[in-house]
Amino acid sequence: MDDDEKKIEFSRDKSDLSEMRTGWSEDRVLLSNERTFGSWMRTGMSSLVVGIGLQAVFHSMEPVWIAKIAASLFIAIAIMIFLIAAVHDSRAQRRINEHDVESMPAGRMWLIAVTLSVASLLVALILWLS
């Protein structure tokens, strides 16, 4: 093998390595996106808990509707967090290709977000009916 052939082979090896590292980088971003989605879900559930807690603490306050409105506000914030997280997750998954890892499908993320949103609405309904 002469010098030119060695240079071409070396260049090809460097290119393959570079593509591999880029793929791994995109995989890390996908996994990071899943962790971020989980963090947003926890933040939304924390907002939901604050809403429930407000109602529990101030349930004997007069007029009752003030405590219910305050609790409902936190429940509405939780729902917004759930849905915004699903939107951001879907956008990120469309932009990035997976290589060596298999990310959770966007549909499953939407299912989680919508389920938590519906559960939050039920909590709000129970709050207002009690």
Residue 125: closest CA among 51, 41, 42: 51
| pLDDT tens by residue, the chain, 130 residues | 565 565 555 556 656 666 766 666 777 878 888 899 999 999 999 999 999 998 888 878 888 888 899 999 999 999 999 999 999 999 988 877 666 677 788 899 999 999 999 999 999 999 999 8
What count of residues does the chain have?
130
Give me the helices (H) in 58-102, please: 64-95
| Tokens read off for 90 | 């879907």
Q: How many CB atoms are closer than 10 A to CB 3?
A: 7
Task: Report how far residue 102's alpha carbon sits from residue 95's, in angstroms, rounded to the nearest whole number.
Answer: 15
